[in-house]
Amino acid sequence: MKKRLTMFLACLLLSFGVALAQNKITGTVISAEDNEPVIGASVLVQGQRSGTVTDVDGHFTISVPSGKKITISFIGMESQTVTPKNGMRIVLRNSAELQEVVVTGMQKVDKRLFTGSSAKISANEAKLDGVADISRSLEGRAAGVSVQNVSGTFGTAPKIRVRGATSIYGNSKPLWVVDGVIMEDVIDVSADDLSSGDANTLISSAIAGLNSDDIETFDILKDGSATSIYGARAMAGVIVITTKKGKSGQARISYTGEYTMRLKPSYSTFNIMNSQDQMSIYQEMQQKGYLNYAETSNAASSGVYGKMYQLFSEYDPATGQFGLANTAEARADYLRQAEYRNTDWFDVLFSNSIQHNHSISISTGTDRSQTYASVSAMFDPGWTKQSKVERYTANLNNTYNISKKLTFNMIANTSYRKQRAPGTLSAETDVVSGEVHRSFDINPYSYALNTSRALDVNTFYTRNYAPFNILHELDNNYIDLNMFDMRVQGEFKYKPVRQVELAVLGAYKYNQATQNHQILDESNQAQAYRSMATTTIRDANPFLYTDPDDIFAMPVTVLPYGGIYNKTTNSMNAWDFRFTASYNDAFFNDAHIVNLYGGIEVNNIDRSSDWFRGWGMQYSLGEIANYAYQVFKKSAEENSDYFTLTNTHERRAAYFGTATYSYKGRYTINGTIRYEGTNKLGKSRSARWLPTWNVSGAWNAHEEPWFRKVFKNSLTHATLKASYSLTAESGPSWVTNSMPVISSYNPWRPTAGLRESGLQEEDRANGDLTFEKKHELNLGVQLGFFNNRINFELDWYKRNNYDLIGIVNTQMGGMKYGNVASMKSNGVELSINTTNIKTQDFSWSTNIIYSHTHNEVTDLENNQRVIDLVSGSGFALEGYPVRSLFSIPFKGLNNEGLPTFLDQDGNITTTGIYFQTQEKEKLGFLEYSGSVDPTDVGSFGNLFKYKGVSLNVYITYSFGNVVRLDPVFKNKYNDLNAMPKEFANRWMVPGDENYTTIPVIASSRQNRNDNSLSYAYNAYNYSTERIAKGDFIRMKEISIGYDFPQSFVSRLSLNNLSLKLQATNLFLIYADKKLNGQDPEFFNTGGVAVPMPKQFTLTLRLGL
C-alpha cells in the first residue's frame, strides 16, 4: 500500500462527533476497479449530518449510534449503505458505466453535469448495413442534424449540417473528432461542391476509411456549450466518434459479413420516353430542318440519324455494298429498327452484383492491458460499370495500465482504398448562356437518363466528331483512385491522485490520394483530338490546333498518337499534440462537485496537391509516351498549364479550460474558455488569436428531494438547461488575406515567345481579417415519464452569426472579402422515444425525431450574378436563407411556342435574360423559390422485438427545400438526346400556348432568326416552371434480424450468432410529383455522382 502524496484539508472539516450511545467503527474503503484504497470517500451515519472521510490509506473511524447504518460514497462511484461492523472492508464500484456520459472528444462528462445540447447515437443502432461510409447512417438519427446524400458514390461525403448553415461563404461542415483527434479532409471540398460530381468528391469524406464495425458511439455536439471546448473551430458543430476498446476478460472474436445486392434503376420510375416516342420527336425535328444529311453526317455529336447517313457512304469493296442503301425503303427500315429498339440503358450500365464486406475483430485483455484489433475488407464489384471499390482497414486499440497511476493508450488505424470511376473532367459553367456542362461526360447514371433509347448498345455513334460507344468508352476512359490513410496516436494518462489526471496526447495522420485518369488510345476523348475525317470536321473540331505563327496553317492534331494520362495526387501530413490536466472532486458530503479541465493543443496540417497531364501516352504500345511538340506550344499560347503544384500549411494552437460546479447534481453551472490562434489569419499577431467562451447551467429537478414526492412515477426525470456561448470558425479556406496574397502567375501574352512568369497580388491586405463568429443561446428540457418509458427532449436555440466573410466593394481594390456579413438562425429540436410495450418476450419502442431550422442572411453586400442565384446550389441574398434558390419568372409560351419571362427591366422577353447581371437593382425580378437546404428533417423509427427476432422500420423525412429540375430543355437537340415524357405535351401548333407550358422544339428557322435562342431555353431551365419541392418521406430501412438462441449457438461452439436482412432506401413514400423519379436528395450532375441505390443486405454476425 503506497502512501498518498496529498490529502485535502476538506477531509478534516467533516469530522464531527455527536455524544450518543456510540460504537466506534473502523474500516477501509477500496476501489473495485484497481483494488486501491479510496481517499476522501465520505462516510456518513444514515439520517445524520455527522460523518468522516477516509484517509490516505482508505481507512476511516466513525462513531455510529447503535442501530444506524452508514453510507459510504465517492464521486463517480456507487454509494453503499451498510450495517457498520468493525474492521469492515467496503468495495466501491465505478458508477461511470451505469451513468451516461457525454464524450466531447477531449473529456468524458457525466451527463448529469453536462449543460450543453448533444445527442448520443450508438453505432449499433444507427449503422446501415451495406453502407460502407458510416457518416451516411447519421441521416435522421439525431435532432438537428441533417444529412443529404447528394451523391451515393463511395468516398463522397454526404452534406451534413448540424443546426443548419453557419456561414455564407464557408462550408458549415461539422468537425469530425475520432478518439479525441480532429479528422481533417485531405482536400477542401466545399459543401456546394460535394454535389458537383467532380472527381475530387471521391476523396471528400474524412472518415470513409473507418470500418463501421469499429465504431462504438457517435456524440453529436450541437450548441455552443457542448462544442465550446473546440471554440474557434466548432461553429458548425462537432461529431465525435468513439471507437471500440478492448475489455478485460476472455478473448472474443467476432465476424461480421455483409452481402449487399443493389437494384438496377428502372425506366418505370422515370419519365423518359421510349424509343418509339423518341423517334417521333426526331421525325418532328427533321421536319423542322434538323437531322438533315449535310449537317448531321458532319455533326459533333449524332446518334441514329448520323449513323444512318454515315452508313450511306461506307462502301465495302469486298461485297460491293454500302453500309446502308440510300433508298427510301432502306431508310424506313433502318429507322423502324431504331423505333422498336427500346434499349434499357440501366440494364446495360448497371449490375446487381453483390457487394460484400467482411470484418473480423478481437477484443481481449487483462487487468494490465486491453486490446481491440480488427481487420476488414470490402469488395464492391460496382453498381455501375467502372465503379469497382476495394477497401481494406486495420485498427488496433491498446490500453496498458503501466502502473496504478499511469496508463497508456495507443491507436493505430489504417485503410487503403482502390476505386475505379468513369473518367470525368470538372464541370464548367458557361456564364454567358448559363449552361452547366461537363465535357466528355460518361457517367452511367446520367447517360442512361439522357441518352435516347433508340440507340443500339453495340453501335458506335458520334460524339465530339469521333466514334463513341458508351461501353467502349467506359472501358477506355476511367479514373483509378488509390487512397491510403493512416492514423497513429498515443496518449499517456497520469493520475498522481484520484482527483487529478494529467494527459498527453500525440497523433500523426497521413493521407495520400492518387487519381490516375486514364484516357486510353482508342477512347473517344483521345480520338476527338485527332478527328478530321472531312474538311468540314477539320475546320470545326475545337480540339485541333492552328498555329497562329504560320499564317497559312491548317488545323493539325496535338495528339497524333496514344491517349492522355492525367495524374492528381493529394496528400496530407498532420500532427496533433495535446496536453491536458483535470481535477474532479466533491466536497461536503458530495454536495459540492467541482470539475476543472484545461490544456493546450497544437495542430499542424500540411497539404500538398500536384497535377500532371501527360499527352500521347500510348497505352496500347506498352505505355510509352509519344507526344507532339505542338501540344506545348498550344498550351503556352492558351496560357494553360501542363502541371501544377500547390502546398498549403495550416497551423493552430489553442489554450482551453473549462470549469463545472454542481450542487448535489441539482444545480450545475459551467464555463469554458478557449484561446485559439491560426496561421491562416496571417502574420498579424493580434488578429489571429481569438478567445471563445461559454456559460451555461442546468437544473436537474429530479434530484430535488421534493420531486419524487410530487410526481411519484409519472414524471421521473426532468432537466432544464440553458447556455450562451461564442464559438467561431476561421472562415472559408480561401480567404487568407490578412497580409497581401502574392502568388505567381503567367500573364497572357499573344505569342509563346513573349511569355514570362510574374508575381501578382491576388488579394489585397485586410489587416482586420478575423474569425467568423457565432453567439448562440440554447434552452433545453429533458423529461422522462413513467420510469423513463417515455423520454422527451426538446431544445430551442437562437443563433447570431456575425463577422461572417462577405463581400465589400472598395474604392480601389474592387471586390474584397472581409468580416462584414451576418446572419441569424433559430430552430427547435425534438426527440421522443417511447417504450410502448415491454413484456418478457415482446417489446415495441418508437423513436421520433424532428428538427426545424430557419436562417436568414441579415447583412450582406451582394455581387452575385443571376446565374449564381438560379443554379442548383443557390446563393445567399440579404433577407433570405443562406442557400436560396431563385427562379426566372416564367410568363407562359408565346404564339411561337417559345418561353417568355419577366426580365430585369420589367418587360416580357424570350431571350433578354442576362445571366451575368450582378447589379443588385437588376436582380429584383427574380422570384424567390425557396431554400436549397431542408428546414424540417427527422425520422420515425419503430423497433419490434420478439424473443430473438427484431423488426426495424425506419423512415426518414425532409421538408422545406426546393430542387431545380434537371435542365433538359435546349434550343437545339440532336439525335442522341433522350427526352422526358413531358415533351409529349409540348407546344405543337399556335394556340397550344393556352394549354401547355412545355416549349416548342425550336425549328432551325427559329434558331436562325434569333441566334440567342439558347438564352430562352436556359432561362426556361432556370425558371419558376422548372422547380420542385424537395420534400420527401423515405422508407430508409426495413430490417428483420434474428439472434439464434443460446442453446443452438453453444452447440456450434459459438458465443453468438445472428442474421439480419435489411432493405435500404426502398422507396419514397412521398415526393413532389414534379420530380418524376428524380431523387430529391441527389444532384444529377454527371461525373462520378450516382444516387444512393435501393439495396438489400444480408448481415451475418457471429462471435467466438
Partner 1 sequence: MKKYIGLSVIALSMTLASCDDFLDKLPDNRTEANTEEKIQKLLVSAYPTHDHMAFTEYGSDNVDDMGETNPYSDRFLDEIYSWTDVTESDNQDPEGYWMDLYQCIETANMALEGIESMGGATTSSLKEAQAEALLCRAYAHFMLVNVFATHYDANNSSAMGVSYVTETEKELNPKYERETVHENYAHIAEDLEAALPNVGDSYYTVPKYHFNKNAAYAFACRFYLYYEKYDKAIEYANKVLGTNPTSMLRDWAVLDKMPDGSDMQQSPTTNHVIEATLNCNLLLLTSVSIQGVLFGGFTSGHRYSHCEYLGQNETISALAGLWGGNYTSFAMQVKRYSGSNMNAWSQWRMPYLFEYTDPVAQIGYSHTVYNAFTGDEVLLNRAEAYALTGEYDKAIADLQVWIRNTSTQKGYVLTIDRINEYIGGLPYAYDKDKTPKGDIKSSLKKHLNPKFKIDEEGSTQENLIQLILACRRYETLHEGKRWFDIKRWGIEIPRRVMNAAGNPDHINDWLTVDDPRRAIQVPQKVREAGYTPNPRPTTDNAGNSAVNHL
Residue 813 engages partner 1 in binding (rule: CB under 8 A): yes
Kindly identify the residues of this chain, within the stretch 672-691, that bind partner 1 according to CB under 8 A: 677-680, 683, 685, 688
Query: Looking only at residues 838 through 857 of this chain, which bind partner 1 when binding is defined by CB under 8 A?
Result: none
Q: Under 8 Å CB-to-CB from 399, ≥6 apart: which residues?
A: 245, 246, 365, 369, 370, 371, 407, 408, 409
Among 111, 633, 651, 664, binds partner 1 (CB under 8 A): 651
> Any idea what DSSP says for residue 896?
T
Q: Is 535 in the site for partner 1 (CB under 8 A)?
A: no
Q: What residues from 684 to 743 belong to the interface with partner 1 (CB under 8 A)?
A: 685, 688, 736, 739-743
According to the binding rule CB under 8 A, does residue 600 interact with partner 1? yes
Binders of partner 1 among residues 375 to 434 (CB under 8 A) are: 428, 430, 432
CA 816, CA 535: separation in Å to the nearest integer? 49
Comparison of 82 and 553: residue with beta carbon closer to partner 1: 553
| Residue burial 748-772, b: 16+ Cβ < 10 Å; e: rest | eeeebeeeeeeeeeebebbeebbbb
Quick one: DSSP state of residue 278? H
Q: Which is nearer to partner 1, 221 or 574 (CB)?
A: 574
Contact between 919 and partner 1 per CB under 8 A = yes
Is the Cβ–Cβ distance between 395 and 412 less than 8 Å?
yes
Interaction residues for partner 1, span 1069-1098 (CB under 8 A): none
Binding residue for partner 1, selected from 20, 82, 332, 554, defined by CB under 8 A: 554
How far is the first Cα of the chain from the last one, in angstroms, to the nearest whole number? 39
Positive or negative, the CA dihedral 465, 470, 471, 477 is positive
Do the Cβ atoms of 1090 and 152 come closer than 8 Å?
Answer: yes
**CA-closest candidate to residue 851, choices 825, 829, 836, 873:** 829
- Determine which residue in the list 620, 810, 895, 907 makes contact with partner 1, applying CB under 8 A: 810
Question: What is the Rg, in whole angstroms, of the alpha carbon atoms belonging to the chain?
Answer: 34
Question: What backbone torsions phi and psi does residue 517 show, to the nearest 5 degrees?
Answer: -90, 110
List the beta bridge partners of residue 795.
Answer: 780, 829
**By C-beta, is 169 or 305 nearer to partner 1?**
169
Asked if 887 contacts 875 with a C-beta cutoff of 8 angstroms, the reply is no
Nearer to partner 1, 399 or 736 (CB): 736
CB of 753 to partner 1, least distance (A): 8
Binding status of residue 756 toward partner 1 by CB under 8 A? yes
Least distance in angstroms from the C-beta of 826 to partner 1: 29
Binding status of residue 641 toward partner 1 by CB under 8 A:
no
Q: Among residue numbers 579 through 598, which ones bind partner 1 (CB under 8 A)?
A: 579, 581, 598
Helix (H, G, I), strand (E, B) or coil at 630: helix
Least distance (Å) between residue 737 CB and partner 1: 9
Residues within window 24-83 making contact with partner 1, judged by CB under 8 A: none
Interface with partner 1 by CB under 8 A: which range of 247-255, 493-501, 935-943, 1002-1010?
Answer: 493-501
Name the residue type at position 822.
Answer: S
At closest approach, how far in Å is the CB of 55 from partner 1? 17
Rounded to whole angstroms, the Cα distance separating 621 from 521 reads 9
Residue 238 and residue 160 in contact, taking contact as beta carbons nearer than 8 Å? no
User: Any contact of residue 543 with partner 1 (CB under 8 A)?
Assistant: yes
Q: How far apart are CB 741 and partner 1 at their closest, in Å?
A: 5
CB of 678 to partner 1, least distance (A): 7
Residue 337 found at the interface with partner 1 (CB under 8 A) = no
CA distances from 892 to 262, 970, 991, 1010 (A): 42, 17, 12, 19
Phi, psi of 662, rounded to the nearest 5 degrees:
-140, 135
Q: Which stretch binds partner 1 (CB under 8 A): 86-94, 252-260, 315-323, 544-552?
A: 544-552
Contact 702, 717 (CB under 8 A): yes
Interaction with partner 1 in 460-489: which residues (CB under 8 A)?
464
Closest distance to partner 1 from the beta carbon of 713 (Å): 45
Considering beta carbons, is residue 367 or 638 the nearer one to partner 1?
Answer: 638
Residue nearer to partner 1 on the CB measure, 266 or 426? 426
Q: Which of 26, 640, 713, 907 binds partner 1 (CB under 8 A)?
A: 640
What is the per-residue DSSP string for 516-557? EEEE-TTSHHHHGGG--SSHHHHHH-TTSB--TT-TTPPPB-
Residue 1083: CB minimum distance to partner 1, A: 20
Please, which of residues 262-291 interact with partner 1 by CB under 8 A? none
Nearest by Cα to 1011 from 916, 915, 917, 910: 910
State the minimum distance, in angstroms, from the CB of residue 762 to partner 1.
Answer: 8
Which one of 267-275, 745-753, 829-837, 925-933 is the stretch in contact with partner 1 (CB under 8 A)? 745-753
CA 770 from centre of chain: 26
DSSP 40-60: T-EEEETTSS-EEE--TTSEE
Instruction: Give the footprint of partner 1 on residues 762-791 (CB under 8 A).
Output: 762, 764-769
Of residues 126-145, those binding partner 1 (CB under 8 A): none
Q: Which is nearer to partner 1, 318 or 812 (CB)?
A: 812
CB of 734 to partner 1, least distance (A): 9
Phi, psi of 325 (to 5 degrees): -70, 135
Instruction: Transcribe 216-254 into DSSP letters.
Output: EEEEEE-SHHHHGGGGGG-TT-EEEEEE----SEEEEEE
* Residue type at 286 in one-letter notation: Q
Q: Give the side-chain half-sphere CA count within 13 A for 883.
A: 26
- By CB under 8 A, residue 811 contacts partner 1: yes
Contact status: 319 vs partner 1 (CB under 8 A): no
Which listed range, 81-89, 141-149, 547-555, 971-979, lies at the site for partner 1 (CB under 8 A)? 547-555
Q: How far from the centroid of its chain's Cα atoms is residue 891's Cα? A: 38
| Cβ-based burial of 87 (10 A; exposed 0-12, middle 13-18, buried ≥19) | exposed
864 contacts partner 1 (rule: CB under 8 A)? no
Nearer to partner 1 by C-beta: 758 or 906?
758
Is 9 among the residues that bind partner 1 (CB under 8 A)?
A: no
- How near is the Cβ of 686 to partner 1 at its closest, in Å? 11
The site for partner 1, by CB under 8 A, has a size of 88
With H, G, I as helix, E, B as strand and everything else as coil, classify residue 690.
strand
State which residue, 379 or 579, has the beta carbon closest to partner 1: 579
Query: Which residue in the set 548, 691, 924, 990 belongs to the binding site for partner 1 (CB under 8 A)?
Result: 548
Of 550 and 841, which CB lies nearer to partner 1 in the complex structure? 550
User: Shortest distance, CB of residue 486 to partner 1, whole angstroms?
Assistant: 23
Within 496-515, which residues bind partner 1 (CB under 8 A)?
496-497, 500, 502
DSSP string, 980-1014: BGGGGG---STTGGGT--SPP---HHHHHH-TTHH
Min CB(921)–partner 1 separation in Å = 9
- CB-based contact 978:273 (threshold 8 Å): yes
